[in-house]
Structures are given as C-alpha cells and as structure tokens.
C-alpha cells in the first residue's frame, strides 16, 4: 500500500478549488466517509461497485472506458459559448491522454458529468460564497449530482492566465468527477489551491498521473512526450542563429510560429511572445504542423499535417475536419503541404509542395521563411527589400 498515491482517497462527496489565500479542507473520519460513500454513491469497501449515471463500459474496478459528458447546461457571460465549449473539450483530454478513458459528448438527456455555472445557493446543498473563496466544486461519480461540476458565476472566468482560468479549474474539477481527491503535492493539478500556471506545460504532474492511472489504467500514449514539470528542455533558443520554424501564419492579429509540438503567439508591436503546446490550444490536433494560413475575412485558419488538414476558428476545430488534402484538388500522390501563401486581395491560396518554405504572412510587407532565413517582400515593387534572421520578431 505504500505505493498507492494520496490522490486515490475517494473520501469526499465533493471537492472545491480554492484561491491561494483560503484554508484547505482537513481529512475527515475515514469510517464516516466510507459509510457516506456506501449509502449515497454505491461505493462499497471491496471496490466492486462504482456507479456512473449512464451505461458506461467496465473493464475493472474503476476502469471505465467511456464516460459521457454534457457541454454545458448554461454558459458564463464572461466568455463566448464557443469558448466555453472549447475549454471543456481541452479540460477532459488532460485525463484521457494518460489513461484509457474516452469522453463522449451528449447534447441532451442525462450524462455522467453535467457542467453548469451558478451563484450562491444552487440546489445542491453546497452554496457558493461570492467572489474569491470557493470557485468551483465537483462530485465523485454516482447518482443524482454524482460526477457533476459546478462553477461559481461570481468569479471572472477567462481563457488567459488573468483572473480565473476556466481551463485550469475545469481540469481540476474533472479530476474530482473521475474519483480523485486533493493532492498534497503543491505542483499537482489536484492541489487544493488555485495558482498561476504555465499554459505551455502539460498540467498533470506525476502524482496526478499516478492517481488517475491507478483508477483507469495506462494510456497507449507516452506521457514522456509532454513536459510535466518544466518546459526549459523543450524550449528552442529564439536568440540562436539556427532557429527555424515548421510553419508560420497570422492569427487574429497575432503571428503564430510553429516548431515541433509547440508554437509561439506574438503581436507584432509587443516584445514578448507566449509559448504553448499545440495540444494545449487544439487538443485534437496532432503535434508537428507542416503548414498553416489564415483567411481573416472568414475568421478561419487552415492547418496542415501530413495528408490531412483542419479548419479552425479560434481554439475550436470546425465540424467535418480533418479532411484529406486531395479534397482540395491535389493528386493522391501529394502527401504533404510545405507552405501556403494566402492572397487576401484575390481570395486565393497558393500552395508550395516541393519547396523548402515554412510559411508566409502579410503586414506592411509580405514575409516568407526559408530555413534559417526570412525575406521581406514588397508586393507593389515585386522584389525582396530586406533579408532578415528568423528570430527578428523575438527582439534578440
């Protein structure tokens, strides 16, 4: 039993995410908790009964393969509904990436995990307390409220690291929905205090992973492919002379530079750049983007990987994607797009297949990238006006 992680204590009917300056829950009497779980959640001491609300597939004591969730019973006015949905879609794969879990969205009826926003008393006997303090809570799986996650609408919910980041809190609460208790590890996602986090780093640490894998088994994916503690070893040197990119595009006024499984986001007039995992922004997108371009008048970005492409709007992948690149008119012998230049004046995209180009974008000039070099091109004069280093945009 020495190797059973702290996270495995299924000893609360609910758990809350707290602000950093609030007190933490103390462990209650284990016998009382066990009796509570037996009476209200069907969790017997021998571990043979662990109830989900829908007919999920069982392969072990708690090794449920498929869990249904509903997005979202009501939306927070702090974010656009599409952003709410996208955040939830990002929060659930945090746990499925390291287990054999599969989450399926239900648009109506009952589901294992029901998600809602509320203030103060909201008919579950655990009222919220206004801004600060308890920001959310979730119930361990079971009947009625079991598995559900509630978020305090008195908080200011955001997609950024300012105020209360909905993705981070939701991922934490889904851990409770799946059966995890709070962790004593201050670096764990399941630590009971909300803290600032680095969105470029995979949010689970080893204590989180040990706990969820004990309940649901290991994933086919290699967790080592994601940084869990520090991004330093994976962070390319933006000041180095050998910097190159896999793809470059504009994105809602920013410039995106893709490299391996990461990307930088940068406003042209701002010195600093945000560094992220591709999967932290688009969870269903494979890492290693080959090419990308923006269609600004439609608020769409097209992303290519191998012989497939995705169309995204913000951090949401549009329905019907991915599609094969031959649907764009290419021969099936074409297995990869190298770069794309989109001419907004013409409404046409120009594809480069066999050239060693990594991307284009237009500001006052057209910029295109070739290996470790960047070219500034004047479309009116139809000539290159300046040769730049690839790290030009990073103020090195």
Residue 46 tokens, joined = 């021998």
- Residues paired with residue 316 on neighbouring β-strands, in sequence order: 313
pLDDT exceeds cutoff 50 at 9: no
Tens of pLDDT, residue by residue over 154-207, are 999 998 888 889 999 999 999 988 888 888 888 889 988 887 777 767 788 888
Contact criterion met (CB below 8 Å) for 197 and 203: yes
Residue 171 buriedness (CB in 10 A; 0-12 / 13-18 / 19+): buried
- With bands split at pLDDT 50, 70 and 90, how would you rate the model's confidence at 308? very high
In this prediction, residue 61 carries a pLDDT of 35
Mean of pLDDT over the chain: 75
pLDDT-wise least confident of 238-242, 360-364, 378-382: 238-242
Q: Does the annotation flag 355 for ligand binding?
A: no
In this prediction, residue 210 carries a pLDDT of 86
Written out in words, the top-level CATH class of the domain with range 235-394 is mainly beta
Domain with CATH 3.40.390.10 in the chain: 6-225
In this prediction, residue 65 carries a pLDDT of 57
Q: Does the annotation flag 84 for ligand binding?
A: no
CA 80 – CA 90 distance, rounded (Å): 15
In this prediction, residue 34 carries a pLDDT of 47
Which of 251-255, 278-282, 290-294 is the most confident on average? 290-294
For tokens 């990002």, the residue is: 90
Q: Does the annotation flag 262 for ligand binding?
A: no
In this prediction, residue 25 carries a pLDDT of 41
Q: Does the annotation flag 109 for ligand binding?
A: no
CA 93 – CA 279 distance, rounded (Å): 10
Q: Does the annotation flag 80 for ligand binding?
A: no
In this prediction, residue 78 carries a pLDDT of 93
pLDDT exceeds cutoff 80 at 246: yes
Residues 6+ apart with CB under 8 A from 37: 10, 11, 13, 43, 140
Contact criterion met (CB below 8 Å) for 292 and 247: yes
Section 210-220 average pLDDT: 77
Residue 246 buriedness (CB in 10 A; 0-12 / 13-18 / 19+): buried
Closest to 248 in 3D by CA, of 357, 355, 323: 357
Q: DSSP of 272-336, one letter per residue? A: --EEEEHHHHSTTSPSS--EEEEEGGGTEEEEEETTEEEEEETTEEPTT--EEGGGGT--TT---
pLDDT exceeds cutoff 50 at 46: no
CA 289 – CA 339 distance, rounded (Å): 10
pLDDT exceeds cutoff 70 at 152: yes
Section 213-226 average pLDDT: 59
Residue 386 tokens, joined = 């300046």
Domain 6-225, CATH number (from 3.40.250.10, 3.10.20.30, 3.40.390.10, 3.40.50.720): 3.40.390.10
pLDDT-wise least confident of 51-65, 123-137, 353-367: 51-65
CA 138 – CA 145 distance, rounded (Å): 9
Closest to 71 in 3D by CA, of 152, 179, 174: 174
CA 393 – CA 33 distance, rounded (Å): 56
pLDDT exceeds cutoff 60 at 49: no
CA 281 – CA 296 distance, rounded (Å): 19
Compute the half-sphere exposure of residue 237: CA atoms within 13 Å on the CB side of its CA: 4
- H or E element that contains 66: strand 66-70
Domain with CATH 2.110.10.10 in the chain: 235-394
Contact criterion met (CB below 8 Å) for 266 and 250: no
Tens of pLDDT, residue by residue over 316-367, are 788 888 999 999 999 888 888 988 888 888 888 888 886 777 778 777 788 8
pLDDT exceeds cutoff 90 at 292: yes
Torsion angle defined by CA atoms of residues 27, 32, 33 and 39, in that order, rounded to the nearest 10 degrees = -170
Q: Does the annotation flag 370 for ligand binding?
A: no
Greater model confidence, 287 or 8: 287
- Which positions are annotated as active-site residues? 173
Q: Does the annotation flag 155 for ligand binding?
A: yes
pLDDT exceeds cutoff 90 at 44: no
Residue 158 tokens, joined = 């955001």
Greater model confidence, 388 or 298: 298
Section 268-283 average pLDDT: 76
Section 300-324 average pLDDT: 89
């Amino acid at each position: 039993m020495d190797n059973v992680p702290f996270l495995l204590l299924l000893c609360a009917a609910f758990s809350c995410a707290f602000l950093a300056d609030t007190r933490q829950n103390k462990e209650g009497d284990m016998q009382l908790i066990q009796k509570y779980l037996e009476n209200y959640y069907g969790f017997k001491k021998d571990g043979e009964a662990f109830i989900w609300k829908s007919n999920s597939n069982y392969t072990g004591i708690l090794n449920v393969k498929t869990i249904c969730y509903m997005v979202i019973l009501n939306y927070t006015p702090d974010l656009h509904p599409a952003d709410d949905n996208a955040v939830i879609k990002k929060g659930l794969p945090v746990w499925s990436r390291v287990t054999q879990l599969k989450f399926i969205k239900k648009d109506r009826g009952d589901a294992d995990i029901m998600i809602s926003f509320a203030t103060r008393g909201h008919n579950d006997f655990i009222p919220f307390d206004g801004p600060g303090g308890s920001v959310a809570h979730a119930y361990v799986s079971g009947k009625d409220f079991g598995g559900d996650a509630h978020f305090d609408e008195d908080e200011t919910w955001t997609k950024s690291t300012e105020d209360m980041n909905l993705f981070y809190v939701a991922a934490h609460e889904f851990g409770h929905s799946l059966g995890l208790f709070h962790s004593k590890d201050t670096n764990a996602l399941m630590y009971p205090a909300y803290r600032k986090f680095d969105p470029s780093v995979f949010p689970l640490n080893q204590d989180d992973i040990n706990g969820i894998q004990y309940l649901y088994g290991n994933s086919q994916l290699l967790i080592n492919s994601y940084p869990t503690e520090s991004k330093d070893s994976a962070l390319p040197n933006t000041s180095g002379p050998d910097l190159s990119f896999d793809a470059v595009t504009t994105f809602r006024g920013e410039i995106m530079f893709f490299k391996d499984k990461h990307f930088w986001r940068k406003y042209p007039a701002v010195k600093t750049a945000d560094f992220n995992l591709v999967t932290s922004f688009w969870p269903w997108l494979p890492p290693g983007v080959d090419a990308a371009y923006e269609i600004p008048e439609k608020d769409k970005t097209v992303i290519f990987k191998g012989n497939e492409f995705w169309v995204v709007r913000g951090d949401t992948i549009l329905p019907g994607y991915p599609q094969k690149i031959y649907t764009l008119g290419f021969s099936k012998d074409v297995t990869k797009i190298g770069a794309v230049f989109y001419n907004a004046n013409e409404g046409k995209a120009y594809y480069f297949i066999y050239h060693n180009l990594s991307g284009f974008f237009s500001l006052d000039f057209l910029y295109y990238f070739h290996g470790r070099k960047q070219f500034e091109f004047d479309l009116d004069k139809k000539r290159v006006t300046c040769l730049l280093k690839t790290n030009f945009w990073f103020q090195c």
